[in-house]
Structure 1
Amino acid sequence: MTTTSSVKRLLVGKPLKTKENQHAKIGILKGMAVMTPDALSSVAYATDQMEAVLAGLITAASTQAYLTNVLGFSMLGTAIIVGLAFLLFLAYRNIIAQYPQGGGAYAIGLNDLGKFWGLSAASTLIVGYTLTVAVSIAAGVDAIAPVIPFIAAHKLLFNVLLTLLIMFVNLRGTGESANVFVPFTYVFIGCIGLLGVTAIVRILMDPNQIHVPTAAGMHAVQGMGMFLFLRMFANGCSALTGIEAVSNSVPVFKEPSAKRAQGLLLTLVVTLSVLFFVVSGVAMLGGLQYNPDVPLINQESMMVFGTHGIGYIFTVIVSLSTMCILAIAANTAFTGCPALWSAMARDGFMPRWMLHKGNRLVYSNGIVFLTFISLLLTLCFDAKVGRLMPLYGVSVFYTFTISQLGMVVRVLRERRAKWMVSAISSTCGLVLTGGACLVFGVTRFTNGAWVVFICVPTMVMLFSRIQKHYQCIREDLKYDMTRTFQPSKEAITIVPIASINKSSVNALEYAVANFKNVIAVTVIASDSEEENRRRTVKIEAEWEELHTGVRLVVIHSQYRAVAKRLQRFIDFELQKYRPENITVVIPQFITKRWWHKLLHNKTGSILLAWLLINKSIKVVSVPYHLER
Structure 2
Amino acid sequence: MLTDLKRLLIGQPLKSHELGEQKLNKKKALAILSSDALSSVAYGPEQILIVLITISAAAFWYTVPIACGVLFLLVALILSYRQIIFAYPHGGGAYVVSKVNLGMNAGLFAGGSLLVDYILTVAVSISAGTDAITSAFPSLHSYTVPIALALVLFITILNLRGITESASILAYPVYLFVIALLVLIGIGLFKILTGEISPDLHTPLGTPVAGISLFILLRAFSSGSSALTGVEAISNAIPNFKTPAPNNASKTLMAMGLLLAILFAGIIYLAYYYGIAPREKETVVSQIATVTFGRGLMYYIVQGTTAMILVLAANTGYSAFPLLAVNLAKDKFIARMFTMRGDRLGYSNGIIFLAVTSMLLIIVFKGQTEQLIPLYAVGVFIPFTLAQTGMLVKWFREKPRGWLLKLTVNLVGAFMSFIVMMIFFITKFGQVWSVLVFLPLIVFIFHQIKKHYDAIAEQLRLSSCEPALPIEGNVMIVPVAGFTHVVENSLNYAKSLSPDQIIAVYVAFERDDEKKFEEKWQKWQPDVRLVTLHSHYRSIVHPLTKFIDTVEHKASESNFRVTVIIPQFIPKKNWHNILHNQSSLLIRAFLLYKRNLVVTTVPYHLKK
Structure 1 residue 626 displacement after superposition: 1.7
C-alpha distance after superposition, 1:117-175 (max 9, x if no partner): 22222222233222222222222222221432442232222122122122222222212
Is this contact kept in 1: 2:132–2:283, CA < 8 A? no
Structure 1 residue 439 displacement after superposition: 0.9
Residue 288 of structure 1 corresponds to which residue in structure 2?
275
- The amino acid that maps onto 2:373 is M
The partner residue of 2:33 within 35, 38, 56 is: 35
- Is 1:138 paired with 2:116? no
Residue 128 of structure 1 corresponds to which residue in structure 2?
117
Residue 73 of structure 2 corresponds to which residue in structure 1?
84
C-alpha distance after superposition, 1:59-109 (max 9, x if no partner): 6xx6xxxx8xx73x5333333333322322233233333444432212222
C-alpha distance after superposition, 1:171-217 (max 9, x if no partner): 22212222222121101111222234445555665699889x9xx97
Going from structure 1 to structure 2, the CA distance change for 1:617 and 1:132 (only over 3 Å counts) comes to: same
CA distance in 1, matches of 2:561, 2:606: 32
Residue 493 of structure 1 corresponds to which residue in structure 2?
476
CA distance in 1, matches of 2:565, 2:243: 51
CA distance in 1, matches of 2:548, 2:415: 66
Residue 413 of structure 2 corresponds to which residue in structure 1?
429
CA distance in 1, matches of 2:399, 2:196: 51
Residue 189 of structure 1 corresponds to which residue in structure 2?
178
- The amino acid that maps onto 1:121 is A
The partner residue of 2:566 within 545, 566, 586 is: 586
CA distance in 2, matches of 1:50, 1:195: 20
Which one is further off, 48-57 or 384-393?
48-57
CA distance in 2, matches of 1:534, 1:590: 28
Residue 110 of structure 1 corresponds to which residue in structure 2?
99
Residue 570 of structure 1 corresponds to which residue in structure 2?
548
Going from structure 1 to structure 2, the CA distance change for 1:344 and 1:558 (only over 3 Å counts) comes to: closer
3-state DSSP class of the match of 1:537? helix
CA distance in 2, matches of 1:163, 1:600: 36
Residue 467 of structure 1 corresponds to which residue in structure 2?
450
Give structure 2 stretches of 5+ with no counterpart: none
Q: Give matches, 1:263-412, under 5 Å.
A: 263-284=251-272, 286=273, 288-292=275-279, 295-303=283-291, 305-307=292-294, 312-412=296-396
Structure 1 residue 220 displacement after superposition: 6.7
CA distance in 2, matches of 1:150, 1:554: 71
Which one is further off, 609-618 or 181-190?
609-618
Going from structure 1 to structure 2, the CA distance change for 1:522 and 1:209 (only over 3 Å counts) comes to: closer
Is this contact kept in 1: 2:458–2:464, CA < 8 A? no
Is this contact kept in 2: 1:93–1:265, CA < 8 A? yes
The partner residue of 1:542 within 509, 517, 524 is: 524
The partner residue of 2:531 within 554, 565, 568 is: 554
- The amino acid that maps onto 1:348 is K
Which one is further off, 560-569 or 274-283?
560-569
CA distance in 1, matches of 2:120, 2:533: 61
Residue 230 of structure 2 corresponds to which residue in structure 1?
242
CA distance in 1, matches of 2:205, 2:515: 107
- The amino acid that maps onto 1:184 is P
- The amino acid that maps onto 1:567 is T
Structure 1 residue 249 displacement after superposition: 2.0
Number of equivalences: 603
Identical amino acids, percent of aligned pairs: 34
CA distance in 2, matches of 1:331, 1:603: 44
Which one is further off, 475-484 or 458-467?
475-484
3-state DSSP class of the match of 1:581? strand
- Is 1:18 paired with 2:16? yes
Structure 1 residue 436 displacement after superposition: 0.8
- The amino acid that maps onto 1:520 is I
Residue 547 of structure 1 corresponds to which residue in structure 2?
none
Structure 1 residue 481 displacement after superposition: 7.0
The partner residue of 2:434 within 428, 451, 455 is: 451
3-state DSSP class of the match of 1:154? helix
CA distance in 2, matches of 1:593, 1:296: 55
- The amino acid that maps onto 1:324 is M
C-alpha distance after superposition, 1:575-598 (max 9, x if no partner): 233488333222222233556545
Is this contact kept in 1: 2:223–2:374, CA < 8 A? no
3-state DSSP class of the match of 1:523? strand
3-state DSSP class of the match of 1:520? strand
Is this contact kept in 1: 2:474–2:501, CA < 8 A? no
Give structure 1 stretches of 5+ with no counterpart: 545-549
CA distance in 1, matches of 2:129, 2:464: 60
Structure 1 residue 4 displacement after superposition: 0.8
CA distance in 1, matches of 2:147, 2:339: 31
CA distance in 2, matches of 1:262, 1:512: 68
CA distance in 1, matches of 2:465, 2:604: 42
Is this contact kept in 2: 1:523–1:565, CA < 8 A? no
C-alpha distance after superposition, 1:245-296 (max 9, x if no partner): 1122222223333332222222211221222232234445x36343336544
3-state DSSP class of the match of 1:507? helix
Is this contact kept in 1: 2:567–2:603, CA < 8 A? yes
CA distance in 2, matches of 1:17, 1:141: 37
3-state DSSP class of the match of 2:367? coil
C-alpha distance after superposition, 1:25-76 (max 9, x if no partner): 22111112211111001112323333444446666xx6xxxx8xx73x5333
Which one is further off, 175-184 or 74-83?
74-83
CA distance in 2, matches of 1:386, 1:337: 23
- The amino acid that maps onto 1:334 is Y
Is this contact kept in 1: 2:471–2:560, CA < 8 A? no
3-state DSSP class of the match of 1:577? helix
- Is 1:507 paired with 2:490? yes
Is this contact kept in 1: 2:425–2:432, CA < 8 A? yes
- The amino acid that maps onto 2:587 is L
